[in-house]
Amino acid sequence: MENEEIHKLVEDLGSRDDSVRKMAAFKLQSVIGDPSFADMFIAEGGLPSLRLLTLEASGNTLAYGLTSLTRLLDLDQGWEIIRPDLIDRVIYTVHISVHLN
């Protein structure tokens, strides 16, 4: 993925248009596991966008964002965006999904 495409992906993650954010999050989850892509994503300023997405999104968009975050953490990157509010969001999401099933 070219730098321009990564820049656009980061920009789209922060979009106010849900369909744009959803598509960006969907794309991100498939490429973020590549260490070289992850490095470029972080260098492009993608971490704050991913953090905000996981705090604000719902449904599939949230699932794609959490998958991306998990894959990034598996690379031992992105830990700096893990703060209490994000942990609370994940716990709440898991709690709700357990009670719905």
Average pLDDT over every residue of 4-19: 94
Phi, psi (degrees; rounded to nearest 5) at 78? 85, 0
The pair of three-digit structure tokens given for residue 43, joined into one six-digit string: 């260098």
- Give the residue carrying structure tokens 């209490």: 84
Q: What is the pTM of this model?
A: 0.88
pLDDT tens digits for range 38-61: 999 999 999 999 999 999 999 999
What is the domain partition of the chain in residue ranges?
A: 3-100
Give the residue-averaged pLDDT of 13-41: 95
Residue with tokens 């495409």: 5
* Contact criterion met (CB below 8 Å) for 3 and 42: no
